[in-house]
A and B are shown apart, each in its own frame.
Chain A
Amino acid sequence: MQETTGTAPGTTDIPATRPGGGPERRHGPVIVPPGDIELEARNLSVLYGETRALKHISISIPDRRVVAFIGPSGCGKSTLLRCFNRMNDLIPGTRVEGEALFHGENLYGPGVDPVDVRRRIGMVFQKPNPFPKSIYDNVAYGPRINGFRGNMDDLVERSLRQAALWDEVKDRLDASALALSGGQQQRLCIARALAVEPEVLLMDEPASALDPIATQKIEDLIYQLKQDYTVVIVTHNMQQAARVSDYTAFLYMGELIEYGPTEQLFTNPREDRTEAYITGRFG
């Protein structure tokens, strides 16, 4: 285990021995960010049948910050993201071990309803997936099923404004969402997720299917959103991680290799594998 540098306040290393025994595993430098912790994984593993896609991950995600998960394809970053709103439950044959905590409460504990979890922890997917309904109905759908009793028009407008889409669609809320461009569709999906007033927004490569200008808009949006939301973003694009995130986690082969403040991870990585990945030597 490497020395912690002490420049990041509150930095500490995870013990090298996992609780619960098993073979000793070397963990890279993993910090606990300062401030309130919104989400936390404790010794979290995900198994698809016999293969362990995530191996004993422990990570803390601070309140109202942007955290990026980076790593090569198949490293488990999307799997880790989906643990936090129990979307992995929808994939048959998936088993989760360990804990995923939301405000200290285990999301996989008994009596926790994934339907409730998903309203409080929203998600945006890689490919824009608006419903084949009007723009208005896309945003209003989540509030409707969740029994929203306020003014729906106001909520739709506010959500679209938050997603920086209002000015582009305010005159055609009844038009089909499928008539929007890819970037607009993705912002609509963000508005749709925000409309149920979640506390966290999970984004699984939200800009990878978009052109550079649309990507720029999504990134600006993420920067705005962290005023009110905790944002966790999975990205293939390291420049994007460097631009939008406060903290970055590097995953490789289902393991968390390094987690720290974004600037430090990109300029002064403490693990050889992190450095090799961010300089493009593999991945």
Chain B
Amino acid sequence: MSAQATARHPSAQRDPSRFEPRISRRHHVGSIAMVLFLAATLVGLVFLVILLVDIWHDGAHRLTADFLRNPPSRLTSRAGIWPALVGSVWVLVLTAVVAFPLGVGTAIWLEEYAPNNRLTGIIEANIANLAGVPSIVYGILGLAVFVRALAMGRSVIAGALTLALLILPVVIIASQEAIRAVPNSMRLGSYALGATRWETIRHHVLPHAMPGILTGTILALSRAVGEAAPLLLVGAVGFVQFAPRGLQDAFTVIPIQIFNWTSRPQAEFQELAAAGSIVLLVLLLAMNAVAILLRNRYAKRR
């Protein structure tokens, strides 16, 4: 067949001299690229290891049951992280409770209901922009709206609502991406059986998108749990004796407690800060573990 083709198309005749494959050189370039990418990975990894080793070295001996149980104190031997740990968990849970339904709901509206017009485009562009607004700006907003205008005071709920606003754009965008990745053939199959739009979303789109939505949400929450700046503005302070027991209580969170300790001159407080960092890292690890578990559970159901 190829001989025939050659005969029919003289221009397609083979002339090896017109090619210069230089295969070994091309493989060489490929190897260099791979080494560069490996180096990029190692740079990040090395600094992460340095950080971990450093805080572990400084803080590990402070990680006692008393450290976890006690409130902060002027006396470094008695200082602990309990109120900040509880405060972080409170803020985390409340932030999730507010941001998840709002974010997923917005994403569903934008992807499944909103007409594909200019207004929708403007809304989506603004959400993407909001994701890039510095967290301190959200702190100012939270101070003005929640603490002052809505008179929530310097409370857990004001802090959580502020953080919910902070991560809302990220939750929306992650959920939109996950919903967009649901194959349209699935929606059509559902509609063709006489399902309504909501049934199609509820029974097919959301279950399919849920692993992606959960991953995005938990990554956003991981960011929120490490935030100090907006909460400083909303009124979390570095010295809280009691763990919050309700939405209206004063609170602090681990990053602010760490910040407070690092700003003191004594070496013992630096060690406490390192121990607090370890607690924060463990909290983040636990959250990511939950994310992976949830994702696997949803993926298995299919």
The chain A residues found within 8 Å of chain B, CB to CB, are: 85, 87, 90, 92, 115-116, 118-119, 122-123, 125, 127, 129-133, 141-142, 145-146, 176, 178, 189, 192-193, 196
Contacts and interface: CB of A to CB of B under 8 A. Distances in A.
B188 A125 contact: yes
A118 B193 CA distance: 6
Given A92-B115, A132-B302, A193 B186 contact: no
A92 B116 CA distance: 8
A178 B185 contact: no
B66 interface: no
Interface stretch (B5-13, B194-202, B286-294): B194-202
Contacts of B193: 118-119, 122, 141-142, 145-146, 192-193, 196
Interface in B188-237: 188-196, 199, 203-204, 207-208
Contact of B191 (A90, A176, A178): A90
A92 B120 CA distance: 14
Contacts of B190: 131, 141
B199 to A, nearest CB: 5
Contacts of A119: 193-194
**Among B185, B191, B204, B208, residue most surrounded by chain A Cβ atoms (within 10 Å):** B191
10 contacts: A90-B188, A115-B194, A115-B196, A118-B194, A122-B192, A125-B192, A129-B188, A131-B186, A132-B208, A193-B192
A145 B194 contact: yes
A125 B185 contact: yes
B189 to A, nearest CB: 4
B189 A85 contact: no
B302 A87 contact: no
B135 to A, nearest CB: 37
A85 B192 CA distance: 8
Contact of A146 (B192, B194, B203, B302): B194
A196 B189 CA distance: 13
A196 B191 CA distance: 12
Given A133-B302, A178-B302, A87 B194 contact: no
Contacts of B188: 87, 90, 125, 129
A196 B194 contact: yes
A125 B189 contact: yes
**Closest CB pairs A-B (n = 5):** A119-B194, A132-B302, A142-B193, A129-B185, A123-B192
Contacts of A118: 191-194
Contacts of A90: 187-188, 191
